[in-house]
Amino acid sequence: MISVKQYLERELVPSLGCTEPVAVALAAAWARKELGDKKIDKIDIELSDSIYKNGMGVGIPGANGMTGNDLAAALGAIGGDSDLDMQVLRDITEDDVKAALKLMQDDKVNLACMEGMHGVYIHVVIEAGGSIAECRIEGEHNNITSVSLDGDEVKKATKVNGEAGQEDDPFIGIRFEELLKLAEELESDDIGLIMDGVQMNRRIAEYGLERKPLSGLGVGAIFKDFIKESRLNEDVLFKIRAYCSAGSDARMAGCTLPVMTVAGSGNQGITSMLSVALLAEALGKSIEDTAKAVMVSMLTTSYVRSAIGRVTPMCGCVVGAGAGAAAGMTYLMGGDISQIKLAMQTILANLAGIVCDGAKGTCALRVGTAVTEAYLSALMAGYSTGSKNIEGISGPTMERTAQNVSMLNKEGMKLVDKVLIDIMEESKQRR
């Protein structure tokens, strides 16, 4: 059984920018580190279809709204700091951006999608001054499985290997009830870490709400304006939707503020942590009660994502973090384990099947949908109402429903990423 501190260390990771292109930058930075100051001659990048898709359209931090896995790799190689982990691009400069663009213009950055390879897989090869350095990331976004220089391995695997990190997945085989008990074992430093993550995600949300011009699609800011204009009621539901959407707006636009990720995703961190904390604030809950509820949300998100996979054809914000938020909100409002499961079952029955068509501006819409339906599912569960029948994706238990969603994702949606990449590549060519 995983401990509280093991869980927090594993699942809560600060990230600057969308985790997929940032992971690509991290791999490039690790490879570059072995080459010293040698002039870069060539960068080759191989990505699973999941990583390739998610990094196509999302803004790179510090790159003035520009996008692309190739740009992320070039920036990681030129100005990235591997010691900063998922904040690898924190210190890049305008000169770094210019140098990265020059490498790309000179056709020295080559990007390939490994069709049929799913989950997290990144392989970056950098040639410089007659030497070749390589880095692989597998299973999780910051899991370096190997770094080599001229064929000699200099860094071995840190945690896991494989498509979804299944070989070292601490959530496999754990009863959901036992997992949630971790929320009752929080110590003061654990509470502090969780609330620091909440505040981190709140800061980027506030940035997205106030930014002029609008960040990304400006979904959150527009909702805020609707409330000011009395076109929407100023209630907790729309506040949660506005804040969480705004956080995603800012991230997807390439904001240089970090977020606390959950289960490998910043948008999942915003959805699962900030939504529950805002509800707790509205209900006048203590910091301890807030942290426990946020912990329930995070644990549930990790539980569902473990079943489905870290990077999938199915949208993790609505399926994984949406279920997490529903669980955390239900717990916060005094729901017991049966009601928590009911809320999860309801949102999974509602939103399962929504595809992930890459990280980009419209993710803010998905985040807004996730937190809205999470709150409504939690309210329904409080009255012991929700998806109870065995029909469609819903099974006789929440656990069975989660398995059904996993099967739909892994077996039923095998071609989704390929088709989506084809669509996105065609659209890109027509611009």
Window from 119-133, 179-193, 215-229, 383-397 with minimum mean pLDDT: 215-229
Residue 299 has pLDDT above 80, yes or no: yes
Q: What per-residue confidence (pLDDT) applies to 227?
A: 86
Mention every residue, 6+ apart, whose C-beta is less than 8 A from residue 165.
119, 120, 138, 139, 140, 143, 159, 310
Is 368 in a helix, a strand, or coil? helix
Long-range CB pairs of 175-180, under 8 A, 24+ apart, other chains included: 176/303, 176/341, 176/398, 176/399, 177/337, 178/1, 179/299, 179/303, 180/296, 180/299, 180/300, 180/331, 180/337, 180/340
Q: What per-residue confidence (pLDDT) applies to 201?
A: 98
Residue 173 has pLDDT above 70, yes or no: yes
Q: What per-residue confidence (pLDDT) applies to 164?
A: 37
Residue type, 410: K
pLDDT tens sequence across 181-205: 999 999 999 999 999 999 999 999 9
Average pLDDT over residues 306-318: 91
Q: What per-residue confidence (pLDDT) applies to 157?
A: 67
Cβ atoms of residues 147 and 59 within 8 Å: no
232-271 burial: b if 16+ Cβ within 10 Å, else e: beeeebbbbbbbbbbbbbbbbbbbbbbbbbbbbbbbbbbb
* % of the chain with per-residue pLDDT over 70: 97
Window from 168-177, 325-334, 391-400 with minimum mean pLDDT: 168-177
Window from 212-216, 297-301, 318-322, 422-426 with minimum mean pLDDT: 212-216
Q: What per-residue confidence (pLDDT) applies to 430?
A: 72
pLDDT category, 211, cuts 50, 70, 90?
A: confident
pLDDT category, 168, cuts 50, 70, 90?
A: low
| Integer Rg of the chain from CA | 21
Domain 171-426 CATH (choose: 3.40.50.720, 3.10.20.30, 2.40.30.10, 1.10.4100.10)? 1.10.4100.10
Cβ atoms of residues 31 and 124 within 8 Å: yes
**Length of the chain counted residue by residue:** 431
Residue 75 CA to residue 25 CA, distance in Å, equals 7
Q: What per-residue confidence (pLDDT) applies to 383?
A: 95
Residue 361 has pLDDT above 80, yes or no: yes
Mention every residue, 6+ apart, whose C-beta is less than 8 A from residue 283.
332, 333
Q: Is the peptide bond before 313 cis (omega within 30 degrees of 0)?
A: no
Bridge partners of 128, per DSSP, are 40, 131
Q: What per-residue confidence (pLDDT) applies to 67?
A: 95
Query: Where do the structural domains in the chain lie, given as residue ranges?
Result: 18-166, 171-426
Residue 313 has pLDDT above 50, yes or no: yes
Q: What per-residue confidence (pLDDT) applies to 163?
A: 42
Q: What is the CA angle 369-12-261, rounded to 5?
A: 35
pLDDT tens sequence across 9-54: 999 999 999 999 999 999 999 999 999 999 999 999 999 999 999 9
Count of other CB atoms within 10 angstroms of residue 335: 21
Is 77 in a helix, a strand, or coil? helix
Bridge partners of 314, per DSSP, are 355
Average pLDDT over residues 143-159: 87
37-63 burial: b if 16+ Cβ within 10 Å, else e: eeebeebbbbbbbbbbbbbbbbbbbbb
The CATH number given to 18-166 is: 3.30.1330
The bridge status of strand 109-114 relative to strand 40-48 is: parallel
Count of other CB atoms within 10 angstroms of residue 412: 13
Half-sphere exposure of 46 (CA within 13 A, CB side): 13
Residue 160 has pLDDT above 60, yes or no: no
Residue 431 has pLDDT above 80, yes or no: no
Strand ranges (DSSP E) for 118-236? 121-128, 131-138, 144-149, 152-156
Q: What per-residue confidence (pLDDT) applies to 162?
A: 42
Same fold, 18-166 and 171-426: no
pLDDT category, 228, cuts 50, 70, 90?
A: confident
